[in-house]
Amino acid sequence: DTAVSQTPKYLVTQMGNDKSIKCEQNLGHDTMYWYKQDSKKFLKIMFSYNNKELIINETVPNRFSPKSPDKAHLNLHINSLELGDSAVYFCASSQELPPRFVRYGYRHGYTFGSGTRLTVV
Amino acid sequence: SQELEQSPQSLIVQEGKNLTINCTSSKTLYGLYWYKQKYGEGLIFLMMLQKGGEEKSHEKITAKLDEKKQQSSLHITASQPSHAGIYLCGADSEYGNKLVFGAGTILRVKS
């Protein structure tokens, strides 16, 4: 069973279209993320959700709207696609640790999906 | 904000040779993760380091975190074509809520 699964794996679409990428994790993790990897392979966080609540929004354009119907799913909807949106989008999940564990230096693992290669033409 | 610098940016080695990839942080590292990515595929978790001076090994890959927790190295012994790919180091934030990645190192292994 795939721990973090994304669909579709490839997505080719025209400028101006609206598209969605789906992500599901079966690890029972509390937190899910979306990362974007640009053409230079640089990987950067976009959003994180904890138990369906938005935690991190790294100055991503409003055209990107994550939606988390439950803690096992985090979907990414993109409106009015632009050429610069072409990239590989990775979903990830992790288990939240209590703040005192984090302060003591404990860290959890992050599990990534296989990525969705979005090409806007 | 934390920044990670990886070196070298790319590397071509002859099969059987050893190699080292470095990851240097602008701030103290609370958790340092090494991932490998093959073209068109997802990130494969290799190792996580947390304590200063920590060293972990898996098969022919060894990762170390220095005592000051600002630099990590990934060493591959007797490289094989299967080691080829992009190696990414990622640092956990102080609050343990996101990973910041280096720019990656592209490794090619010549047979």
Give the confidence band of B98 by pLDDT, cuts at 50, 70, 90.
confident
pLDDT at position A108 is 72
Helix (H, G, I), strand (E, B) or coil at B4: strand
pLDDT in tens, A32-42: 999 999 888 88
Phi, psi of A97 (to 5 degrees): -105, 145
User: Which is more confident, B27 or B72?
Assistant: B72
Is the predicted pLDDT of residue A112 greater than 70, yes or no? yes
Would the CB atoms of A45 and B104 count as touching at under 8 Å?
Answer: no
A69-78, B14-23, B88-97: range with lowest mean pLDDT: B88-97
pLDDT at A59 over 80: no
CB atoms within 10 A of CB B83: 20
Least confident of A23-32, A43-52, A106-115: A106-115
Q: Chain A closest CA to B94's CA: distance in Å?
A: 8
- The tens digit of pLDDT for each residue in B25-56 reads 988 888 899 999 987 778 899 999 988 899 99
Compute the mean pLDDT over every residue in chain A, rounded to the nearest whole number: 89
- DSSP state, A102? H
Q: Give the Cα separation of B94 and A85 in Å (integer).
A: 29
Q: Give the angle subtended at the CA of A69 by the CAs of A68 and A75, to the nearest 5°.
A: 45
Share above pLDDT 70 across residues of chain A, in percent, rounded to a whole number: 90
Q: Which of B69, B98, B105 best probes binding to A when mutated, by most A CB atoms within 10 angstroms?
A: B98
Residues in chain A: 121
Q: Which residues numbered 22-81 in B keep a CB inside 8 Å of some CB on A? A: 30-31, 33, 35, 37, 40-43, 45, 48, 50-51
CA distance A80 to chain B (A): 25
Tell me the C-alpha distance between A111 and A115, whole Å. 12
A117 chain-B contacts, CB cut-off 8 A: 40
What is the mean predicted confidence (pLDDT) over B65-92?
94
Alpha helices in chain A (DSSP H): 99-103
Q: At B7, phi and psi to the nearest 5?
A: -145, 145
